[in-house]
Structure 1
Amino acid sequence: MSTRQHGELPLADYDHLSVGSLEHRIRGLSAEELQELLGYEREHADRTPVVELFTARLDQLKSGSAPSPGGGDFRPEQPGPPSGGPRVTPETSAEPIHPPPHGTPPTGPGKPKGDRP
């Protein structure tokens, strides 16, 4: 049984998608498209969690579930846009700390106990 090549698959960049991302993206696929992906998966990576996911979704479609719109752009593996708080600039950053160089004698009142009167 020969399935489609990578560039002809119903999901773009299929080989680079995680199981979590696939779970959301397959919701909009028909049973035929899902069967194509299942065949491709079995011929190439044959990842058990992905095969189980596809099989369970095929069972749902056979039981009367319909493909749902949306979910194709959901990518949990990519972070969302930054929240946008204030940016740190040289004017708003903390003052630099300059520790004394090594070998500099302390200038405080501390003395060894033997030198105390």
Structure 2
Amino acid sequence: MSTRQHDELPLPDFDHLPVGSLGHRIRSLSVEELEHLMRYEREHADRRPVTELFKARLNQLRSGSSPSPGGAGARPEQPGPAPGGSPARPETSAEPVHPPPHGTPTEPGKPKANRP
């Protein structure tokens, strides 16, 4: 049986999920659903870490584990909102930098007006 239809996969957007988030996303799948994903993965990308993950989960399910509430609704692959504000405050800022009296390459030194 060929599993060429992306729309028929038990995990939406499976092709775009990072490998790191698959472990918890497949916990809720049955043996049949996981086998379906395994066939699809082997026919398309055939990523070794993904197939190893699927094999390990299939072994768990065949050894008596049951599908558990996975994270089908959770999306850990999407970053949360960025923390706002900067930790820098005026009291923690650096002292102002003044060029040395002899000058810098961009600001040459200036002679003193009252020098003998």
What TM-score do you get using the length of structure 2 for normalisation? 0.71
Contact 1:21–1:74 under 8 Å retained in 2: no
In 1: Cα distance, 2:62 partner to 2:107 partner:
79
SS in 1 for 2:2: coil
In 1: Cα distance, 2:70 partner to 2:2 partner:
29
Contact 1:20–1:76 under 8 Å retained in 2: no
Matched with 1:82 is: 82
1:103 to 1:35, Cα distance in 2 relative to 1, 3 A? same
Contact 2:26–2:70 under 8 Å retained in 1: no
What TM-score do you get using the length of structure 1 for normalisation? 0.70
Percent identity of equivalent pairs? 62
1:105 to 1:57, Cα distance in 2 relative to 1, 3 A? same
1:3 to 1:105, Cα distance in 2 relative to 1, 3 A? same
Matched with 2:108 is: 104
Q: Aligned AA for 1:21?
A: S
Q: Which runs of 5+ in 1 are unaligned?
A: 109-117
1:40 to 1:103, Cα distance in 2 relative to 1, 3 A? same
The number of residue pairs the alignment matches comes to 101
CA RMSD of superposed structures (Å): 2.7
